[in-house]
Chains A and B, each alone.
Chain A
Amino acid sequence: MTHGGSAQKSVDSSFTSLPYRRLADAALSRAQDFNVSHADFRFERVRYQQIAVRDGNLQGAGDTEDIGFAVRVILNGAWGFASGVVLTPESAVHIAETAVQVAQVAANMTTELVALAPEPVYDDVEWVSSYETDPLTVPLSEKVGLFSDWTGRLLGSPEVAHSSALLQQVVENKFYTDLAGTTTTQQRVRIQPEVEVFGIDEASGRFDSIRTIAPPVGRGWEYVVGAGYDWDSDLNALPGLLSEKLAAPSVHAGKYDLVIDPSNLWLTIHESIGHATELDRALGYEANYAGTSFATYDQLGKLQYGSPLMHVTGDRTAEHGLATIGYDDEGVHTQTWDIIKDGVLVGYQLDRAMAQHMGAELNGGRSNGCAYADSPGHIPIQRMANVSLQPALDGPGTQDLIGHVERGIYVVGDKSWSIDMQRYNFQFTGQRFYRIENGRLQGQLRDVAYQATTTDFWGSMEAVGGPQTWVLGGAFNCGKAQPGQVASVSHGCPTALFRDIRVLNTAAEAGH
C-alpha cells in the first residue's frame, strides 16, 4: 500500500476494520456475471457534528454518521447505479444485481453509449488530508464551552442584542475499487466555525447583523484554537463593526469602482467561474436543474472571459482545500490545471466519460479528477474542484488598491448571492461595505448589492493584488444535481480592483 497527502497520518482503524473489502469482492464478482464493461464499488463513512450556540447557551448539538456503499456498472453502454446500507455480502450482491437491473431499464433510453477515459491503475493506495487534530475526538463539552464563551462575551457588548455560533465538522472516509484493479482508501477532515452578532437601532427600528469572515477549511480542531486564523481579532471587532453598520448611511445607487476583498470575491469566483467551467453544465447535463453555461465548449481557447490579468486554476490538490483529495470517485489521481489563462478560457472540469467523449483536446483525453458524490447513497457526478484566481507575483496590497480609487466601495465578507442559469447575470451583497473617497476609506455604507454580467465584470478587473492579499475561501454548501448533492469546495483569490460596477440600493429595490 502506498501513501499520499498527510505524511504523518494514516486512515483511522475504526474505518479500516469495517468489512468493505468483503462487500466489494461480493458485489464486483456478481457484476462480472452480467458481462458489464465497467463496475466500481464505493464504500463511505461520513461523520458530521454540528453545534449551535446562542447567547452563551447551547441550542442544539447533533452527531450524524452516514455509512453505506454503492455499485455502479456500465452494461451495454448504459449506466446502472444502486446503493444500500446493510453491510453484508448478501446485501452487496443484491445491490450489484439492482445496479444491473437499473442499467437494463436505462438501456432503452440511452442514445449515447457511455465509455470511460483510460486512467492508470492504482494498486491499493492510501491518502489522508493535512490536519492535526480530528475535531470529533475533542470532547463536546470543550467545544460547547468555547463557543458559549465566545457568544456570551459578545452578548456582553452593549451594541449586541443577540449572538449566535455554528460549528460544523466533518470527517470523511472513502474506499473505492473497480474491475480495472484500482483500489483507494482515503480520509479527510474539514471544519467551519461561524459567529454572528445581531443589533437593533432603537431609533429607527432597523436591525442588522455581522458575521466573522473566517473561511471554512480542510483542517482539524487546531483551526479553531489558533492555527491559520486570528479568531480574537475577528471576534473582538464584531460589536464595533455592527454598531457602525447600523448607523451607516444608505448607499446611493449607481456605478462605482469596487475593491473586493478575498472574503467576498471567492463566492463571485465560485458562481461565475467555478460553475461556469464545469463541463457537464457546458454540455447541457444540468439544464433541467442547476443550469448550463455561457462558456460553451466551442469557445475553448477563444472566449475572452475577462481581463488579461486573469489566471484561474482548477485543482484538487491544494493543502487545506475543501475539494482536495488524492483520488476521485472514479479512481482518477487528482491534478492541477489552467482554466483561464491571460483572460482566455483554456480548460474545464471533467470526469472520465466526458474526457473520453471530448478526446485529446481536453487534458490529453484524461479526466482531471472531478467526479465525486457527496455520500455513499449518491452517484458520482462531475463536481467542482478548488477553482482559484492567482495573485500577481509582485502585485499591490489591499491599501494600494484602495489608494487607486477616487470614488468607490471596498467590499468585505459574503452574504447574499444569486446568478442566472447560464452564469451571466449575478447579484451579490456582503458583510461590510466601506465608502472609498480619494483613495481612503470613509466609513461603512449599508443597503449595498452589486450586480453585473460575468464577462463584463471580469473584463473590468483592472488590478490583482499580490500574494500577501491571497486567501483560500470557500463553502460547505455547494448544491448541484438531481437528486441534490452538497459539496464543499475552496476558492483562493487576492484582493482585486474592478472599475465601474453597478451598485443597487436594496432598500430602494424593495420599494422602501
Chain B
Amino acid sequence: MTAPTPQELVEHALHTSRTDSCVAIVRDSTSANLRWANNTLTTNGVMHRVTVTVICFAGVGEGAASGSATGSAASFDQVTSLVEAADAAARQSRPAEDATELVVGDESGDWHDPSGETSIDVFDAFAPELGDAFARASDAERVLYGFVDHDVTTIYLGSTTGLRVRHVQPTGHYGCTGKTSDLTSSAWVGGATRDFADVNASAMEAELAQRLSWAQRKVDLPAGRYDTVLPPTAVADLLIYAYWSASAREAHEGQSVYSKAGGGTRIGESLSSMPVQMFSDPTYDELGAAPFVVAATSSNETSVFDNGLPLGRTHWIKDGSLTSLLQTRHSAGMTGQPVTPGIDNLVLAVDGAHAPMATLVGGVERGLLLTCLWYIRAVDPQTLLLTGLTRDGVYLVENGEVTGAVNNFRFNESPIDLLDRFSGASETVPSFSREWGDGFSRTATPALRVPDFNMSSVSQAN
C-alpha cells in the first residue's frame, strides 16, 4: 500500500475537521548523520519522520478558541485521530487571547511538488575522506571527535481559508574537535552547509592540526578583562540568545532587557553608538528560511492564528537603534508596533567593516583570540547578563600574531552591552554557533574585537 502524500494528508485534515476553521501543517523530514570519537565511528543513523500538526478553531462564547494536536502521522487514520484531538481541544478550551482572522491565501506554484529528501549517500565523498583523516590523525598522535548531520525538511501548510504553501529547508552542519593524544590541548572547527558539497574532511583535519600546533606554547593567564577577538561563531553564540530573548510581549510587560523603565519597550532607543545592523531575511543568500509563519502552538512570541503570514526582511537593530522585537499580530496590538514575527535566520553586520578577521587579529597588541563559547545561560534578564565558557582553543595574540594557547575561562557578559563596547569588526560571513547551531544554524556574523571582555574565572577544562 502506498503511503499518502503530504498534500493528501493536509487535505484530509482540512476536510475532516468539524470546527469553524482549520490549519494543517505537514513536515516531511529525512536526515542522515555520522558521529565519531577517538578516531573511530561511534553512532550513525538515517531517520525519516512525517509530523502532522492540526490546529482547529471554534467559536466559544464571544471569542474563538484554538486546539492543537501534533503527531507522527503517515496515514489518513492517524491524521483523523489528530483532527479529532484538535477539534476536541478547541471545543473544550477557553477563548484564545490571540484570536484574530486566519490568514487568507492561495495555492503556491510549487504546492504539488514532492518533498525533498536526503540519505546516507550525502556523505559519499566525505566518509572515505574521514576514514583517511582518522589514519593521519592517529599517525600524528592526534584524536578526532565529531559529527556531521544533514536534514531536508519539506513543510506543507494548508488552511480552510485557502492557503496552500510549501517550503523545502535543507540544513546541514559539521563539527570536529581535535585533541593531542595526551588530551592536554584541544581545537575545534565547524560550520553550516546546505548540501555537504562544500565540506572536506581533509581540510577540516588540516585546520585542526594547525590550531593544535598553536598550542605548543602554553601560557596560564588569570581571570580579568582582556582585549578579545570573538570570531564569527562566538558572536553567533551570543547574538542568537539576544534574538531569542527579544519577545515584544515580555519587553512590553517589563520582563526583559528590551523593557523601558516606566513601561513599554525600548524600540527606538539606541543600543549602540556604532552603525550596527541586525536583521533576519528569509531570502538571504545561503541562509534561506521559511518565508511564512509556521506555529504549532501560541506563546509570547508565536500565534497559531498567524500561520501562513508572509515574512520578509526584518531589521531588529538598524544603525545601532532597536527597531523591532518578535511580534505576533496579537502582541503588535498590545504594543502598537508593526507585526514582526520571528524568522529562522539572523545576520549581524557593521557598516564599513569589510576586512577579514585576520586583519582584526593583526591589530591586537596583546590579547586573546577565542574559538567558540559554551554552556551559555542567562544570569540576569534585566541586563541580559550571560555566563558561559570559552572552549577548544583560547589563543594568546601578541603584536598581531598568535603566539600560544592559554587556559579556558568562564565569562560573564551581556551581548547588548557588547554591541556598544566593541572596538572593531570584521566582514560579515556565514557562521555557525557552537552552542546553538544544532537548532539554529543559519547565521552570518562578523568577528568582533572587545577591549575589555569579562573573564570572570579560570576553567581547568582543556
A residues with a Cβ closer than 8 A to B are 50, 52, 54, 57-68, 78-88, 98-99, 101-102, 105-106, 108-112, 139-141, 144, 148, 161-162, 198, 200, 205-209, 283-289, 291-292, 294, 376-379, 381, 416-425, 427, 429, 447, 449, 451, 453, 482-484, 502, 504, 506-507, 509-512
Contact = CB atoms under 8 A, between A and B. Distances in A.
Interface of B: 1, 3, 31, 33-50, 65, 67-75, 78, 82, 85-86, 88-89, 92-94, 96-98, 120, 123, 127-128, 130-131, 134, 143, 145-147, 149, 175-177, 179, 183, 186, 188, 253-255, 259, 261-262, 296-300, 302, 304, 374-383, 385, 387-389, 391, 408, 410, 412-414, 417, 438-439, 454, 456-462
Contact of B120 (A60, A101, A292, A424): A101
A52 B175 CA distance: 36
A283 B37 CA distance: 9
B251 to A, nearest CB: 11
A98 B46 contact: yes
B41 A381 contact: no
A109 B48 contact: no
B389 A84 contact: no
Contacts of B147: 288-289, 482
A64 B438 CA distance: 22
A425 B389 contact: yes
Contacts of A85: 48-50, 72-74
B49 A483 contact: no
Nearest to A104: B120
A207 B254 contact: yes
A82 B49 CA distance: 11
Contacts of B412: 427, 504, 506, 509-510
Contacts of B460: 294, 420, 422, 424-425, 453
B175 A288 contact: yes
Contacts of B123: 105
A487 to B, nearest CB: 16
Contacts of B120: 98, 101-102, 105
Contacts of B127: 105, 108-109
5 contacts: A83-B47, A205-B262, A283-B38, A420-B391, A447-B380
A377 B47 contact: yes
B31, B40, B304, B414: most-surrounded residue (chain A CB, <10 A): B40
A378 B89 CA distance: 29
Nearest to A48: B70
A484 B381 CA distance: 26
Contacts of A504: 412, 456
Given A86-B50, A509-B412, 15 more contacts: A63-B89, A64-B70, A68-B49, A81-B43, A82-B46, A101-B46, A102-B44, A105-B44, A109-B134, A284-B38, A288-B175, A376-B72, A416-B378, A502-B457, A507-B383
A108 B3 CA distance: 34
Q: Determine the main DSSP class of A at the interface with B.
A: mixed
B253 A66 contact: no
A86 B3 contact: yes
A83 to B, nearest CB: 5
A144 B377 contact: no
A81 B417 contact: no
B461 A427 contact: no
B47 A205 contact: no
B374 A60 contact: no
Contact of A83 (B39, B45, B296, B385): B45
Contacts of A87: 74-75
A109 B41 contact: yes
B173 to A, nearest CB: 9
Contact of B380 (A82, A112, A506): A506
B89 A287 contact: no
A288 B146 contact: yes
Contact of A59 (B97, B128, B410, B457): B97
Contacts of A422: 460-462
A81 B45 contact: yes
A-B pairs, 6 with minimum CB distance: A205-B261, A65-B71, A60-B298, A422-B461, A287-B145, A62-B297
Given A108-B128, A206-B382, A417 B377 contact: yes
B37 A284 contact: yes
A427 B297 contact: no
Contacts of B458: 425
Given A425-B389, A510-B380, A162 B255 contact: yes
A241 to B, nearest CB: 17
A506 B3 contact: no
Contact of A483 (B176, B298, B438): B438
Contacts of B69: 62-65
B461 A425 contact: yes
A205 B304 CA distance: 33
A291 to B, nearest CB: 7
A291 B388 CA distance: 14
B377 A509 contact: no
B31 A109 contact: no
A101 to B, nearest CB: 7
Contacts of A420: 374-375, 389, 391, 408, 410, 459-461
B89, B412, B413: most-surrounded residue (chain A CB, <10 A): B412
A68, A78, A378: most-surrounded residue (chain B CB, <10 A): A68
B37 A288 contact: yes
B123 to A, nearest CB: 7
B28 to A, nearest CB: 10
Given A58-B93, A162-B253, A418 B43 contact: no
Nearest to B460: A424
B414 A67 contact: no
A139 B92 CA distance: 8
B71 A67 contact: yes
Contacts of B3: 86
